[in-house]
Amino acid sequence: MPSETSALIEIDRLTKQFGTFTAVDDVSFRVDRGEVVGFLGPNGAGKSTTMKMLAGFVTPTAGTARILGEDVVDRPVAAKRHLGFLPEGAPTYPEMTVEGFLGFIAKIRGFRGAERRDRVARALDLTTLHGVRLQPIETLSKGFKRRVGLAQSLLHDPPVLVLDEPTDGLDPNQKREVRDLLTRMAPEKAIVISTHLLEEVSAICTRAVVIAQGRVVADETPAQLAARGPNLDAVFRDLTLPAAEAA
Ligand SMILES: Nc1ncnc2c1ncn2[C@@H]1O[C@H](COP(=O)(O)OP(=O)(O)OP(=O)(O)O)[C@@H](O)[C@H]1O
């Protein structure tokens, strides 16, 4: 049942264990409409695993995740209807053309005929992919493949976007285009992006959730985070390095 709350994303005490190893440890946060949350942490901190649980691709060991009130485990189809997810890496089906792949995703999302064509054209527009629409995905550069992944996540214009390193592999111009696109869409959506780029957090995020060794160590605005130390790099280091290493 949808819960009586305005948050579009609610993560409550989410935990994932792989054998005896705890990759995500009691993580809770909420994201309202209009927020762009930067999910930050060192390699292996648990960002992708948290995002995969939120997207319904990994089953939590404990805790819950809801999208527009729909529990991602109990009501996976309803939750996914409201979600656009960009996983790490490149889209699957590398032999498909960009347009063929997006048409296929549109069909899975339930669009037919003219609406399907319109959705694909709009996704190509938003991600500036018209020029390569007839090219097989496997022949594209890394940045273009990343944008094909982003295009599929936007196709159904979902209210919630969960994007795992959306600007990874993009050149500076493409990075700016994607950041501008996310900023334009932000007022209508709840967006979570993971990133290693601290400047990205300052540029587009309204909030930063920092995770280290599976646990949330900060959840505040980028300005509050920056005010904790001489610069964001130093703050990030102090928050995420174990005490002995940081000394
Ligand atoms: N299927 C799995 N089986 C065992 N361990 C896993 C599995 N998936 C992830 N892990 C481990 O869980 C931890 C968290 O991984 P995760 O990919 O979530 O980190 P991350 O913060 O996204 O890292 P990065 O910034 O490098 O992408 C890592 O130690 C990883 O090796």
Count, residues in the chain? 247
Core vs surface per residue 133-161: b (16+ CB within 10 A) or e: beeebeebeebbbbbbbbbbbbbbebbbb
Q: Write out the two tokens for 107.
A: 């069909």
Residue nearest to atom 7 of ligand 1 (CA): 18
Compute, in degrees rounded to 10, the torsion defined by CA atoms 219, 41, 54, 85: 110
Beta bridge partners of 66: 10, 71
Ligand 1 closest atom vs CA 19: 4
- Could you tell me the sign of the dihedral formed by the alpha carbons of 32, 167, 61, 83, in that order? positive
Per-residue pLDDT of the chain (247 residues; tens, 9 = 90+): 444 456 999 999 999 999 999 999 999 999 999 999 999 999 999 999 999 999 999 999 999 999 999 999 999 999 999 999 999 887 778 999 999 999 999 999 999 999 999 999 999 999 999 999 999 999 999 889 999 999 999 999 999 999 999 998 889 999 999 999 999 999 999 999 999 888 899 999 999 999 999 999 999 999 999 999 998 889 999 999 875 565 5
Global pTM value: 0.93
C-beta separation of 56 from 79 below 8 A: yes
Ligand 1 closest atom vs CA 42: 25
Q: What is the pLDDT of residue 2?
A: 47
Domain extents in the chain: 1-82+162-167+196-247
Ligand 1 closest atom vs CA 45: 21
* Cα distance between residue 23 and residue 127, in whole Å: 33
* Cα distance between residue 129 and residue 154, in whole Å: 13
Residue 132 alpha carbon to ligand 1 centre in Å: 33
* Cα distance between residue 89 and residue 124, in whole Å: 19
Residues with CB under 6 A from ligand 1: 18, 23, 41, 43-49
Question: What is 1-82+162-167+196-247's CATH number?
Answer: 3.40.50.300
Q: Which of 18, 57, 236 to mutate to test the pocket of ligand 1 (most atoms within 8 A of CB)?
A: 18
